[in-house]
Chain A
Amino acid sequence: MFEYAPAPESRSVVRLQPAYGLFVGGEFVDPTDGDSFTSINPASEEVLAEVAAGGVGDVDRAVRAARTAYDRVWGPMPGRDRAKYLFRIARLIQERSRELAVLESLDNGKPIKESRDVDLPLVAAHFFYYAGWADKLDHAGFGPNPRPLGVAAQIIPWNFPLLMLAWKIAPALATGNTVVLKPAETTPLTALLFAEICQQADLPAGVVNIVTGAGETGRALVEHHDVDKVAFTGSTEVGRAIARAVAGRDTKLTLELGGKAANIVFDDAPVDQAVEGIVNGIFFNQGHVCCAGSRLLLQESVADQVLASLKRRVAQLRVGDPLDKNSDIGAINSAAQLARISELADAGAAEGAQRWSPPCELPEQGFWFAPTIFTGVTQAHRIAREEIFGPVLSVLTFRTPAEAVEKANNTPYGLSAGVWTEKGSRMLWLAERLRAGVVWANTFNKFDPTSPFGGYQESGYGREGGRHGLEAYLNV
């Protein structure tokens, strides 16, 4: 047997402070009417740092700082000068990528190979990409001299803390807005390190403000009268509440919410690569992915063969220490999320689907969930309809392309879909009919800053990334 020896990435590159304040007006400040909370390592439950929870007054201070910076510095600044700051930030992210990747894995629980090879390269790429747009907005297709909105309130989730920050901040700054960003309460630390990078880049004070906290802080930010734009990525439930709060105000809103993506495998698919795509679709980032391929639709003529290959492959996955370079699956981000995943998985078994997990030893400390596959799932099962946001795959079958489309579209969501077939004409036929913001052809979970991303129906509205992503932050 080839036993891989432990290969832990060193934590020494990260220097954490015991406590963090809020980043307002270019410096770290203590909250005035807020509180504090701790952020833990979900793989060990060890406390990493104490973090401020911003109150209503703190949010107001941050919005005022952003307004001042917008009026006096960032709004009037020529695009080519804004670009210089964004390029500088992008380069600093690259230079400090190891530090950021280790901290991301510590705070979030995702395996270091993903934070190192996926998250951080995409974060830097996003800043580079939008830095390039800053002085070319006249040519973006929105008419001459499109104007920014003003102050953007941005609320991001815990599944890709730094990447979601990049998706929000890079286009907002490139188009001339200033921002107040609230990271998720379980993963605030890389955003605070990003604040240090803003200081290092000499970004003018108040252009980026980071207010940590939980739901109450987010609510205060969304309901603040002086924000011109709200951008939210997270659950559909919170998205609805935000839409209600913003309704009737002159505030632009984009929402990127949940998903229940279908990954459709036809009998002429490249089987070995499809199996990789299925694994990547649902087990990437412990399944904490809004566009995860959580519903596998197999054509009945190859269902047994693909399932056998899939199980053999899933048995190879290495679950464990997120900082071990050979870990494929890390920790579930929080006790609350673990409880939700367990509840839905139990419901799947109770409703009659067959549950399977490979033999795998889970660590005793921390929050862990073994990769799980449900077969014999029908459209009526909760695990086929509700977003689980964990490493749980529901397998359904279909007979014809028309049935595949019908089942894939039979969901209130519509964020992404995957199709596996060697036949080009079928691929195009399906891509036209699938109601999903992204359709991946013979691949899954591929991201690129040049490509717009967003959903249909309850998966939200507005697009992030690419030229389309500029529109959300321009007065057009």
Chain B
Amino acid sequence: MLSRIIPVFTLSFFLFFAAANTAYAMHITEGILPFRWVITWFAVSVPFVGIGVYHVKRKKKKMPSYLPLVGMLGAAVFVFSCFPIPVIALNGMATSHPCGTGMSAVLLGPFVSVLVATIALLIQALFLAHGGLTTLGGNIFSMGILGSFSGYFAFKIAQRCKLPLFWCGFLAGMISDVFTYLGTSIELGLLVINTGGSFFKAAAEIFGVFMMTSQGILCIVEGVVVGFVLVFIYKRRPGILFHLGVVKDDTKPMQT
């Protein structure tokens, strides 16, 4: 197994950093998924997107300012997800970029975050050729659903454990990234089933390559950035976090 991992690792390393200089690894590109998996991942993702739409629609009726708020925060998270983060292992020779779903899940809740991720993925697929239209369902599953829910629950559990706000944000950012890559690895690993390969072996290899190249460090970096962001907003404008339901009471001092 090791003899196969090493060449794959070497080549991935070369292609991600030397060829493109910018690593975009969490989206499955157009044309990779076979027809049946395209249908399967769309079928899995549509109910979550539907619930997200229902949530926004219901809140919009009660509070008309909710739509511009979600749109604007969604745009901000999209821009955040385009931040170039240098890969420390290569001394900044190449950059990667964060997912942003952990932060959107903390700010907007998991279902609305799935909807925001869906729209972000659609924009990226159409206007950046990053991801794809047939792979949209698969990408929604890994980045939208797994990323949002894991980030949201990580944040809530950390809050329950009374961890400082920075660590709550750190865990949300980091875990949502790890789950996003895990989701992508599972989706790609499932492709070998028909060719007689082992799903677990393939998924583990792909996940290993993700984590060993830029993405393992990126998970930690995104966690740190999300932690900084939440602390920064809490110190400057705690009312925003209170309004979004991230903190329960903005008048009580809180450990950051």
Partners in one complex: no
